[in-house]
Structure 1
Amino acid sequence: MPSALYAMARELITEQVSHKLIFDRDAFIASRKPQLQMALRARSELDLHADDDVMFVGHAAFKEYFADPEEGYFVKSPKSFLGASGLRPEFVGFFEDIVTAMMQTIKHRAEVSAGDTLTQTVIGRPVNFQGLNSEQSNRQALSILETAARRSGFKDIEFQYEPIAAGLSFERQLTEDKTVLVVDIGGGTSDCAMVRMGPDHIQKADRAADFLAHTGERVGGNDLDIRLATESLMPLFGMNAALKSGKPMPTKTFIDAVSTNDVSALTRFSSLETGLYLEQLQRDCAEPELIGRLLRLRKNKQNQQLVRHAEEAKISLSDAEITSVNLEFVEKSLSTDINRAELADAIERPLEKIIALMKEAKDQAGVSPDLIFVTGGSAKSPVITNAVENVFGEVPLFDGDHFGSVVSGLTEWAQRIYR
């Protein structure tokens, strides 16, 4: 299930959370009174009835957003924002509501499947939610996650590092003891752990001594998608176009347009000031029709959709040397081809950060890995696996269930601690 949420109006997220709260509902409603009043106003303005679906999670969120990007509120990979520095209390509260809404949905689906009420959970967490002020960032993000879990009805809540969870899943395959470098490339973060694994370790009640090192940073699949959108798609919207003055085209606004994991960038791109700036830029550009496309993209709020197409191109290039990106949602007959070499060039900088995390984990542990296990959605790309092999040479490289390894390991950890 993709980590995405769409609501007909932003305040309706808070409203939906309040309807499903398990405990402390009165206190929550009191703390969210302005938002709930705005939700009532939104229902009236949108002519929504009490039984209308107003919030969607996962694939349904993308479907609703693509059908009507100009309206509603869409968020992808909210975990990327949870550790952001300098958040005002109202933003922290709103992120709590987004995460609670998603947890409530997941918990309900799991309970329907299990035929039972669930009160215990293990939540995967990156090593660091943010690179800057990591300790403060981690405390903030974990507090948001724990608050959301309790509001969803979980009583026992534990956290486990995602690369360690992925390693626990992989360990079942080992027939002899190995020192394994686990690399988990998630949507918003990448994490590495150096772990002793194998038959002599798997049954230990306390694995603390087996975890030799762990590193992590807020760089992941979303960053790769954004870089690919910037380098391969934004030129269609005027980036790199010539100005009539002969000066180079400023790139900041083009980067803001696709920086879908950066609240500040999205706010700047949506501002009135940026709209006026782009209108002037269109007059100054030697190819004004390209800036016109960007203005339409901005007006129709299709920048998330553009990055989604970059993500789909990245996925396609895992199996093909070249792929075509259809952008007719912006303009009839608009499309472009992207090849694997262009992908490699576009993601070079974030990929360097991921490789640096791997090297740091090796240095922290003071030993070299016997093998490397790579997981996470983006880990399927040959561009990434080739980069890893180029750095670590002859060390055998394995990949697993790109989307299920972490969850499988978290499940195994839950079985151990909740017996």
Structure 2
Amino acid sequence: MFIGFDYGTANCSVAVMEGNTPRLIPLEGDSCFIPSTLCAPTRESVSEYLYRFFGLTPSDKLGEQILRSAIANNREEGIELMHGDLVFGQAALDTYLDDPEEVYYVKSPKSFLGATGLRDIQIRFFEDLVCAMMSNIKQQAESHLQQDITQTVIGRPINFQGLGGDKANMQAEAILKNAALRAGFQDIAFQFEPVAAGLDYESQLTEDKTVLVVDIGGGTTDCSMIRMGPSYRDKTDRPDSLLSHCGCRVGGNDLDIALAFENLMPAFGKNSKSQRGIEMPVMQFWNPIAINNVAAQTDFYATSNLKVLDQLRRDAESPQLLQRLIEVHQQTLGYQIVRHAEEAKISLSEQPEFLSSIPLSASQIETHISSGQLAEAIETPASKIVELVQGALTQSQDKPDVIYMTGGSARSPILRALMERELPGVPIVAGDYFGSVTAGLARHAQRTFS
């Protein structure tokens, strides 16, 4: 049996075809979307849990070395894993929020797959993370369908996050493929996420159109200019209909981080000064919330940085603000801050103002954020999305009949207004913001494996 598999930065989902109609499968309770999160007792627990409770062995000698080291480290720490110690989705977030200091929590591992400078041992560990998530999703889907799933088309962005170009893309796709093979998929294909979204939209068309697909995902934004409609729908090979592809490493997470940096981090000391009038170092407020940057997170949460933060607090004009930043370090609260920014972004798509309330050990930090402040905060990442659209238009040397916007952040009226300004008079349509890519991947899987 085959599925379309959207392994997303923010959420994961899968779909099967029932006749000519895709159907998304519940993966967490009644929800067809499971947040791309994982929580374990320790970092090393992930590899050991895969072996003990999923029955999955490493793919090579380096993987075996990681597993042996993980088991030894867990025994040294007195950790005996139990079934259920590795949790996913909303359950993972809830576990992390309950006690952030005592668990290992990962959000959006897809963001790291194309990172440059990764050592082989890091790549294998990311493979374990992805394999664990894929295995859980595969098991949930098979339990619901009461069938084994052996074939899948996995969505991928035009360009993964990372600065390595084609090399980064090859690295990320290889991690996804190896993880999927270990999870039990036998036949694996990939499709660009905006093309998949376009395939789902195409099923509704009664006449041929040139469509600009703008897919604003959690970690990347992708644009594809595609000729589609009844004349193209049933073609297996249709390279002439794909006019252009462009992708950039900017997505919904970047909007959340930008909003958190500009509007939430001042409560932790950003823009404050020392007693001598010197501004606090900006990177100490960027690194904790740069949740898609391995190096930034490592630098901020390093034990040595705690001494730096404590010195900043002693020198600060407003030491109570820097004390809050120290608490962020001690309790690994960067993910929480970005989560509150995401909540504000979502709410501000429907209302003019939002009150953010971040709980700390001794207080609640309340911040009023307006839609105007949101627009100002995300101006830089939003401008990169506009540049991407311009690149797709230039590459295709064509003008679309319609713009099809999808992805969670495509709901933003700010981004929609930017599209209208860039292509005045071109109608903008939207389908299922979260499910169109998954549905299109299932349609492509039907053509690939039937």
Is the pair's TM-score, using the shorter chain for normalization, greater than 0.5? yes
Shift of 1:329: 3.5
- Aligned pair 1:290/2:347, yes or no? no
Contact 1:375 1:403 in 2 (8 A): yes
Mean alpha-carbon deviation: is it higher for 83-92 or for 267-276? Answer: 267-276
Partner residue of 1:9 out of 20, 37, 42: 42
Give secondary structure in 2 for the equivalent of 1:70: helix
Query: Which residue of 1 is the match for residue 11 of structure 2?
Result: none
Distance in 1 of aligned mates of 2:109 and 2:58: 26
Distance change in 2, residues 1:257/1:27 (3 Å): closer
Q: Helix, strand or coil: the match of 1:286? A: coil
CA distance in 2, matches of 1:416, 1:15: 38
Which position in structure 1 is the counterpart of 2:384?
Answer: 353
Change in Cα spacing, 1:386 to 1:43, as seen in structure 2 (3 Å) is farther
Q: CA deviation at 1:17?
A: 1.8
Which residue number in structure 1 is paired with residue 70 of structure 2?
Answer: 38
- Deviations, residues 235-286 of structure 1 (Å, cap 9, x unaligned): 0000001322122332111111110100000000012332111111112211
AA aligned to 2:341 is: A
Counterparts of 2:119 and 2:396, CA distance in 1:
38
Residue in 1 that maps onto 2:408 = 377
User: 1:21·1:151 contact (CA, 8 Å) conserved in 2?
Assistant: no
Q: 1:228: which partner in 2?
A: 259
In the aligned structure 2, how far is the partner of 1:126 from the partner of 1:280?
42
Match of 1:66 in 2: 97
Q: For the Cα contact (< 8 Å) 1:20–1:104, is it kept in 2?
A: no
Aligned position for 2:427: 396
- 1: CA distance between counterparts of 2:85 and 2:245? 41
Gaps of 5+ in 1: none
How far off its partner does 1:43 sit? 5.8
Q: How does 1:213-362 map to 2 (within 5 A)?
A: 213-362=244-393
Cα RMSD after superposing both structures: 1.7
Change beyond 3 A, Cα 1:248–1:339: same
The reply on whether 1:142 has 2:208 as its aligned counterpart is no
Matched with 1:197 is: 228
CA gap 1:409/1:5 in 2 versus in 1, 3 angstroms: same
Match of 2:108 among 71, 77, 95: 77
Partner amino acid for 2:46? I
Which structure dedicates a bigger proportion of its chain to strand? 2
Question: Residue 79 of structure 1: CA displacement?
Answer: 0.8
The answer for the alignment partner of 2:189 in structure 1 is 158
| Identity between Structure 1 and Structure 2 (%) | 46
Structure 2 SS opposite 1:5: strand
- Structure 1 residues 58-91: Cα deviation after superposition (integer angstroms, max 9, x where no partner): 1111111111110221111111100001100110
- Give the aligned residue type for 2:426: V
Q: Which runs of 4+ in 1 moved over 6 A?
A: none
The one-character-per-residue Cα deviations of 1:356-383 (angstroms, maximum 9, x if unpaired) are: 1111011100101111011001111111
State the partner residue of 1:108: 139
Preserved CA contact (<8 Å) 2:45 2:81: no
For the 8 Å contact 2:66–2:121, the answer to whether it is kept is no
SS at the partner of 1:10?
coil
Aligned residues: 417
8 A Cα contact 2:194 2:214, kept in partner: yes
Instruction: State the TM-score, normalized to the length of structure 1.
Output: 0.95
Greater length-normalized contact order (CA 8 Å, ≥ 6 residues apart):
2
Which whole-Å CA distance do the structure 2 matches of 1:22 and 1:154 have between them? Answer: 15
